Structure 1
Amino acid sequence: MTSNKEARRTDKNKEGNAEFFETVEKMSTAFAENVSKFSEQWNGQWNSQWNEQLTNWYNSWINELPESFTQDAAKPTAFNLRKNLDEIAGGIGGAALPKIDTAKIIEAHFDLWRNYQTLWMNTTAALMQWFGAESEGEDKNPGHEVITPDTGDYRFKDPEWSSNPVFSFIKQSYLLNSHWLRQMIDQTEGVDDATRMKIEFYSRMIVDAMSPTNFALTNPAVLREMKETGGQSIIQGITNYLEDQQAGFDYMCPRHTDISAFKVGENVATAEGSVVYQNQMMQLLQFAPTTKVVYKKPLMIVPPWINKFYILDLREDNSFIRWAVEQGYTVFVISWVNPDETYADKSFDDYVKEGIFAALDAIEKATGEKQVSAIGYCIGGTMLAAALAYMAANEDNRITAVTYFAAQVDFEKAGELLVFTDEQQISQLEPKVREQGYLDGASMAATFNSLRANDLIWYFVINNYLMGKEPPVFDLLYWNADSTRFPAQLLLDYLRNMYQHNKLSQPGGFTLLGEPVDLGKIKIPTYIQAGKEDHIAPPESVFKAVNLYGGPVKFMLAGSGHIAGVINPPSAKKYQHWTNTKKKSYTELEDWFADAKQHPGSWWEDWNKWLSKKSGDKVTARVPGKGKLKIIEAAPGNYVKVRS
C-alpha cells in the first residue's frame, strides 16, 4: 500500500509536471510567433546553408550505407538501393535546389524535441511504477504513449511493445523519428512529383529496414522465443538463412513458403483440361466442361506473362477457372512460355501475334466459333487492349466482349512502380538485360516485394531467421515465388512505351504490328475490375481506362488488392465490391466512388450476370480433343512447370 507521505509526494510531482508543461507550452507559443519573422528574413540564406548541410549529411551517410542494402552490380535487377539513392541526391547541391520552408522545418524539429521530452518523462515514470508494481505485486502500467503505430501496422502487435516500458520506449522512439523524417520530406517544396516519389519510396525502405522489430535484441518476441527454446531458435534461424542462400533466396526475396509442399498439376493447377495447341510462345489450354450445355461463345483468358496462369486455379474452392466452367463457359487459357536467352529479341508484336492472335485461330479450330469473349489480367490486359485496338482498326471482330482484371492502359497514375521506370534507371538496366537476354524472375520479385517490404520481406526475415520458424504452407505464396523471366526487348519496350511515355493512352501514340493504334476505336462492351487496395495497378490508374474506350464500359471496384481482389469466390463470403449505375460520366475515381453502392462479398456473380448476356445461346458442351484440334497433353501442360 502507498503511504500518505508517498501520496503527497506523488501529488506534488504531478503539480510540478503540470507547471513544467505549462511553461513548455508558453515557450512553444512564443517560439512559433517568432519563427515566421525569422524565416522571412533569413529564408534565402538558410536555404543555401540547409542544402549545403543536406549534401554533406547525405554524402557522409551514403558512404556508410551497408553493402547489404545493395545488390550485386552484375545482377540485372531493377532495384539497387545505393545507386538509386545516389541518383536522387545527385541534384541536391546543384542549381535547381529544392525550397525549404524554414518555419515548418524548425517547427518539426521542435515537435520532435518536445515529444522526446514527454517520452523520457513518461518512460521514467513508467519504469518507476513498473518496478514498484513488480515488487508490490500490483498491475503494471506502461504509461501514456506519445505516438502509436498507424492503423494496420502489425509489426508492434506483441503485447510487450506496450506493456514493457523499455520496449515501449524503443517503439515510440522509432515511430517519432520515422514521423519526423516524413515531415522533412513533406515540407520540401520545389521538387517534381517523380523525384518526390523516389525520395518517399527509398526513405520508407530505409525506415522500414531500421525498425526495431527487425533486430533480435530489440524484438521482445524474438527474445522470448530464444529464452523458451534455450537458444535453439537462433541456431535454427541461422540454418534457415544458410539453406535459403544456397537455394538462391536473398534478403530482398526471402523464402515465403515451403516450396517442396506444392507441385504444379498435383495440388495446384488441377482443373481438368487439355493442351490443344502450342507454339514457341505459349500453350493453349481448353478446360473440360462440367455442364451439359455451354454458352455459344468461348471465353479466352490472357494472363500476365510475368506470372504463371494458375493464380486462376490454385485450389478447387477458389479456382476462377473451375467456377467459370461451372457457369457454363468454354474456357481457354494461354499458358505463356518461361523464356530463356533465346527469346531476348521477342517483342510486344511477337507476343500479340503468336499469343493472342494464334490463340484466337486455335479456338476457332477447336470449337468452330469465330467469335469469343476475352479476359485480360494485369499486363495481359494491357496487351489485350492494344490487340483489340489493332483489331478494331482492321475490322477484326473476333472478340465481342472484354473484361480486364487489374489492367492499366493509362500509366499516368501507375503508382510506386514508376520509381523504377525513368530513363536513367532503364538505361542502367538495359545493358545488363541485353547481355543476359532477360530479366530474371528473382529481380522482378525483389521489385514487387519492395513495394510492400514489411509484408513480403521483413515479416519473413523475422519469422524465418530471427525466430527460427518455417514459413507458412500457402499456395498463394508458392505461386508468388513461381515467377517467370521477362525477355529483354519486351521488357525495355514495355517500360519505355507504357510506364515512361504512356503511349498506349494516346490516340495513335503506340504502334503495334506496324500500325498506330487508338483505344477509342474499341467499341465492344467492356467490364473493368480494379482492386481498392491494389499497390501494383492502383485503382486510380485502372479507372482512367473508363474514358479511353469507345464502347460501353462498366467499372467495378473490388475490395482488397491485386490478387485477393480478383481471386474472391462467392463461397468465401469475403470483402465487398462497389458498382455505380448512375447515367453520368466521371473523370476521377473518387467522384465515381462517392456515387457508388457497396455490395457484400464477391463480385464474380455481378461479372457473370454481365457477361452471360453477351455470350450467345446455349449449345452442347464441348469436350477437348473433339474438334479439329487434338489433345497434346493434359492440363496444366509443360510450359507452366518450367521454373526460373
Structure 2
Amino acid sequence: MAEQQGSESKLIDPADFGRTFTELADKSQAVMGTLLANQLAHPAQGLMDPLHLGSAFYDLAAHLASDPLRVMDANLGLWNDYMKLWQNATLGALGTETTPVVQPDAGDRRFKDEAWTEHTIFDFIKQSYLVTARWMQSVVQGVDGLDPHTADKVDFFTRQITDAMAPSNFVLTNPQVLRETLDSGGENLVRGLENLLHDLERGKGQLRISMTDESAFKVGENVASTPGKVVMRNALMELLQYTPTTETVHRRPLLIVPPWINKYYILDLRPKNSFIKWAVDQGHTVFVISWVNPDASLRDKGFADYMLEGPLAALDRMAEITGEPEANIIGYCLGGTLTGCLLAWLTRQGKAGRIASATHFTTMLDFSEPGDLGVFIDEPTLEYLESQMEKNGYLDGSEMAGTFNLLRSNDLIWSFVINNYLLGKDPFPFDLLYWNADSTRMPAAMHGFYLRHMYLENIVRKPDGITLAGVPIDLSLVETPAYFISCREDHIAPWRTTYLGTRLYKGPVRFVLAASGHIAGIVNPPVANKYGFWTNDTLPPAPEDWLNSAQRSEGSWWTDWNAWIQPHAGEQVPARMPQGDTDAPGTYVAVRL
C-alpha cells in the first residue's frame, strides 16, 4: 500500500485489500462452519434462557404498564434533556461555550479521547448516549411492586445493554477508531477481523476474547516463580512449601488457602508484587495450597472434601514437617469461606488451638447482600446449572470467567473489543490478565452445595446451618483471633457484606478496608505505595459507621497485617528448608483448560 508523506492517511491498494479479505473470507467460512456444526449438535443451546431474563423484563413491563405516569415523567425528562442537548450543539457550532447536559463518571475511560469533548459531533454523540443510558436506568429502577431479586436482575442487565450500546464500541462513532482507520488505510479493520476469527477459532465457535499475550508468560518461570517444593499431594491439592530467605523464621508456620475458582498464583505473579515472596521475606514459613483443576472424575467431591483434603490435610502435614502443632492461616475469597467453616469445625471438636490466628482476604461468611453476583443466583438458575453440572461432572471454567467479566464489562469485555477488533491491536502482555484467563473447573457436588447453601439460602451464618463431615458448623463459637481485609471497590465480595462476617465470630476481630478492587486491593505491595487503607479499632454494627470513624493510612495494608500477626507467629527459630522431589509451583497449577 502506498503511504503519503507525513502523518497523512494511507491510500488503499484495492488489489492488496481484496486479496487480504479473500484469505480472511476463507478462514471465516471454516470458523463459521465449526460454529454452525456446534449449533446443530446442540440445537436448544441458543434458545435457552437459564437466567429467565424474558420473564424478568416481562414483569417489569407489566408493572410499568400499571404506572403510566411514571413512564410519562421519564419520557418528558428524556425529551427535555434532548432539547437542551440540541440547543447546546447549535450554540457550540456557533462558537458559544455551553455547560454539558451530562458528563461521564470520573472513572469512565470510554470517553478519555480528547475528541469526545473537543469535537462538536462526537461530544453530541457522547452526551446523547449518556442521556439515553441514564433514561433507561431511571425507568427500570425503583419500580413499585417489582420483586427485589427481579428488580436487581433487570437493573444489572439493563446496564449490560447500555454498556454494549456505547458509541465507543462502533467504528463510525469512535473517533480513535476512525483516525486509525484513515491513518492505516483500513489495515486496523483487517487485523481486527483476523483477531476476531482467531478468538472464535480458539473458543471452538464461541467468542473467547484474548485479554493478554498468553505466550509471554509461563507458570514457574516468570509467574508463580517463588522457589519452593511440593511437600504433599492428594486428589484435590498439592501443598507447596517455600524456601526461606531469612536465617531464622517465626515458630508457627503460615498456611494460605486460595480460592479454587482461580489459581493460587494471583498471590505470586512476579517477585515485586508477590505476597507469598513478601511473607517469606518477613520470616514466615509459608505453605500454600495449589488446588487441582478438576475433571469429571472428581464430580462427587463436595465442600467437606475440600476442607478435609485441603487445609485440614495441609495442617497435618505442616505439623509433621515443622514439629509445630499450631499454625496461622489465610483464606482468600472462597478459600476464606472454607477457612471460616474449618475454624468452626475444629472448635466444635475441641481442636481450635490448632489455628493460632485466621486472616480472611475479601471473604463472605454472611451472603445476605452478595452484590451483582446475586442476580445469577435463584432457584430456576440453580436448577439449570445443576442439570448442566450433572451432565458434565463440573462447571466449566469459561462460564465462571464470563460471569465475573460481566461484573466489569467495560473493563473486561468492551475495552478488548475496541482494542483487538476495532483498532486491530494485539493485547498487551499483562500477568494479572494472564492469570485471569487461566480458568479452573468446579466439581458438580461442591459447586452445587456452595451456590445453594451459601449464596441462595445463606445458612452458613446460622448456628448449625450446615453440617460438614458429620459436624454441625457454628461460626458463633469461633474464638480464634481473626483479621478481615476487604476492598472498597470489590465487585465480587462487596466490603459491606464481608464486614457482616466480623459480627459472627466470638473472638477478637480486626477489620481493615483497602482501596481498589478484589484483586488490586489485595495485591498491593508496600514498595508500590499505592491506594491506601482504612483501620478502626472498633466494630460498630453498621459498616458505614465503621468507615465514618475509620482512619485512613497511605500505602499497603500488608504492613498492618504483619504487625497484627506478630504476636501470633511465635518466637524465632532456625529456618526450615523444604524437602520434596518436585519444585514449586508443582504440576496441578500447570493444567490449563
Aligned in 2, Cα 1:227/1:80: closer, same or farther, shift over 3 Å?
farther
Q: Does 1:328 align with 2:296?
A: no
Matched with 1:54 is none
Matched with 2:584 is 635
Q: Does 1:114 align with 2:80?
A: yes
Give 1:87-486 correspondences, 5 Å limit: 87-91=55-59, 97=63, 102-129=68-95, 143-248=98-203, 253-396=208-351, 397-486=353-442
Number of aligned residue pairs: 555
Aligned in 2, Cα 1:76/1:455: closer, same or farther, shift over 3 Å?
farther
Supply the distance in 1 between the matched residues of 2:194 and 2:208 (Cα, whole angstroms): 17
**CA offset digits 1:256-307 (Å, max 9, x no partner):** 1000000000100110100011011100000000111111100000000111
- Kindly state the Cα deviation for residue 79 of structure 1 after the two structures are TM-superposed: 13
Matched with 2:570 is 616
Find the structure with the greater CA-based Rg.
1
Supply the distance in 2 between the matched residues of 1:100 and 1:523 (Cα, whole angstroms): 53
Other structure's SS at 1:270 match: coil
Supply the distance in 2 between the matched residues of 1:341 and 1:257 (Cα, whole angstroms): 29
Aligned partner of 1:607 among 549, 558, 561: 561
Aligned in 2, Cα 1:266/1:323: closer, same or farther, shift over 3 Å?
same
Supply the distance in 2 between the matched residues of 1:75 and 1:407 (Cα, whole angstroms): 40
Q: Does 1:581 align with 2:530?
A: no
Give yes or no for contact 1:100–1:189 (8 Å, CA) kept in 2. Answer: no
Aligned in 2, Cα 1:326/1:79: closer, same or farther, shift over 3 Å?
farther
Matched with 2:489 is 533
Matched with 2:460 is 504
- Kindly state the Cα deviation for residue 575 of structure 1 after the two structures are TM-superposed: 0.5
**CA offset digits 1:548-592 (Å, max 9, x no partner):** 00100000001111001111111000011011124xx41111000
Give 1:18-57 correspondences, 5 Å limit: none
Q: Which runs of 5 or more residues in structure 2 are unaligned?
A: 1-34
Letter in 1 for 2:90: T
Supply the distance in 1 between the matched residues of 2:58 and 2:143 (Cα, whole angstroms): 16
**CA offset digits 1:9-39 (Å, max 9, x no partner):** xxxxxxxxxxxxxxxxxxxxxxxxxxxxxxx
- Kindly state the Cα deviation for residue 230 of structure 1 after the two structures are TM-superposed: 1.0
Other structure's SS at 1:317 match: helix
Give 1:496-575 correspondences, 5 Å limit: 496-575=452-531
Give yes or no for contact 2:327–2:356 (8 Å, CA) kept in 1. Answer: yes
Aligned in 2, Cα 1:225/1:143: closer, same or farther, shift over 3 Å?
farther
Letter in 2 for 1:105: V
Letter in 1 for 2:587: N
Matched with 2:445 is 489
- Kindly state the Cα deviation for residue 245 of structure 1 after the two structures are TM-superposed: 1.4
TM-score by length of 2: 0.90
Other structure's SS at 2:272 match: coil
Give yes or no for contact 1:76–1:443 (8 Å, CA) kept in 2. Answer: no
Supply the distance in 1 between the matched residues of 2:69 and 2:358 (Cα, whole angstroms): 54
Supply the distance in 2 between the matched residues of 1:75 and 1:611 (Cα, whole angstroms): 56
Letter in 1 for 2:52: N
Q: Percent identity?
A: 48
Supply the distance in 2 between the matched residues of 1:250 and 1:318 (Cα, whole angstroms): 36
Letter in 1 for 2:56: I
Letter in 1 for 2:568: K
Supply the distance in 1 between the matched residues of 2:66 and 2:562 (Cα, whole angstroms): 54
Other structure's SS at 1:530 match: strand
- Kindly state the Cα deviation for residue 114 of structure 1 after the two structures are TM-superposed: 1.3
Aligned partner of 1:595 among 545, 549, 552: 549
Other structure's SS at 1:188 match: coil
Supply the distance in 1 between the matched residues of 2:184 and 2:327 (Cα, whole angstroms): 60
> CA RMSD for the aligned pairs?
2.2
- Kindly state the Cα deviation for residue 92 of structure 1 after the two structures are TM-superposed: 5.1
Answer with 115-124 or 374-383: which moved more.
115-124
Aligned in 2, Cα 1:93/1:231: closer, same or farther, shift over 3 Å?
closer
**CA offset digits 1:425-453 (Å, max 9, x no partner):** 01112111211111111111000000000
Supply the distance in 1 between the matched residues of 2:233 and 2:142 (Cα, whole angstroms): 56
Letter in 2 for 1:106: M
- Kindly state the Cα deviation for residue 375 of structure 1 after the two structures are TM-superposed: 0.2
Give yes or no for contact 1:507–1:517 (8 Å, CA) kept in 2. Answer: yes
**CA offset digits 1:112-164 (Å, max 9, x no partner):** 111111212222333354xxxxxxxxxxx675421111221111111111222
Letter in 1 for 2:269: L
Matched with 1:15 is none
**CA offset digits 1:336-362 (Å, max 9, x no partner):** 000001111110011111111111111
Supply the distance in 2 between the matched residues of 1:150 and 1:345 (Cα, whole angstroms): 46
Supply the distance in 2 between the matched residues of 1:553 and 1:187 (Cα, whole angstroms): 37
Aligned in 2, Cα 1:82/1:285: closer, same or farther, shift over 3 Å?
closer
Letter in 2 for 1:86: G
Give yes or no for contact 1:257–1:473 (8 Å, CA) kept in 2. Answer: yes
Q: Does 1:85 align with 2:85?
A: no
Supply the distance in 1 between the matched residues of 2:553 and 2:421 (Cα, whole angstroms): 42
Give yes or no for contact 2:50–2:380 (8 Å, CA) kept in 1. Answer: no
Other structure's SS at 2:460 match: helix
Q: Which runs of 5 or more residues in structure 1 are unaligned?
A: 1-67, 130-140, 626-630
Letter in 2 for 1:635: A
Aligned in 2, Cα 1:369/1:77: closer, same or farther, shift over 3 Å?
farther
Supply the distance in 1 between the matched residues of 2:299 and 2:587 (Cα, whole angstroms): 21
